[in-house]
Amino acid sequence: MTRPAEDPRDDMLNALFSQAKDQVMAPSPEFLGRLLEEAYAAQPVVAPQPHPHPHVARAEPRLRHWLRRLAPPAGLATAGLAGFWLGFAQPAALMAPVVSLGDAVAGTGEVLEMVDLIPSLDGWLSEG
């Protein structure tokens, strides 16, 4: 099977395409300058990481070390103080936050009705 003869017009057209393909328009320096200016202006600004003062930078590891050592005793001391206050405080002082909560929720000065979530087991244990 023979290939059909190619149209000579196609040869001319392909030659023109090939010639035109190589011709890339060079942007002028002014135009490139404008494009770059716009590219910089539209570029997102990524904030650089702030560098600490040299004295602070030197002291930072020691500070972190001491904070790490102080954390457990500080937690223990806080827990101890809270336990001490709960043990010795008067009931009225303990009820004050509950009354305040009643004010906030119901708008009255009354104490919120409390539900005993762990009822006594005495009723179940009575013999009969």
Partner 1 sequence: MPLDDLSDLPEEALLARYAAGDRMAARVLVLRLSPRLLSYVYRLLRDRAEAEDVVQEALLRLWRMAPAWRPGEARVTTWLYRVATNLVTDRQRARQRRRVAALEDAPEPADSAPGAVAQLIEADRMAALEAALACLPERQRQAVILRHLEGLSNPEIATILEIGVEAVESLTARGKRALAAALAGQRAELGYEDEEALP
Judge whether 65 and 78 are in contact, CB under 8 Å.
no
Between 34 and 64, name the residue whose CB sits nearer to partner 1. 34
CA trace torsion 41, 42, 45, 46 (10° rounding): -140
Min. distance of Cβ 73 from partner 1 in angstroms? 45
Provide CB contacts within 8 A for 58, sequence distance 6+.
none
Of 10 and 116, nearer to partner 1 (C-beta) is 10
Q: Where are the beta strands (DSSP E) in 12-126?
A: none
Helix runs in 2-53, H state only: 8-21, 29-42
| In the complex, least distance from residue 9 CB atom to partner 1, rounded to whole angstroms | 4
Round to whole Å and give the CA distance between 26 and 10: 29
Say whether residue 43 binds partner 1 (CB under 8 A).
yes
How far apart CA 92 and CA 83 sit, in angstroms, is: 17
Q: How many positions of this chain bind partner 1 (CB under 8 A)?
A: 31
5 binds partner 1 (CB under 8 A): no
Q: Which is nearer to partner 1, 23 or 90 (CB)?
A: 23
Window contacting partner 1 (CB under 8 A); options: 5-13, 50-58, 106-114, 118-126: 5-13
Using CB under 8 A, pick the residue from 26, 115, 117, 121 that binds partner 1.
Answer: 26
Binding residues (CB under 8 A) for partner 1: these are: 7-13, 15-17, 19-21, 23-27, 31-32, 34-36, 38-40, 42-46
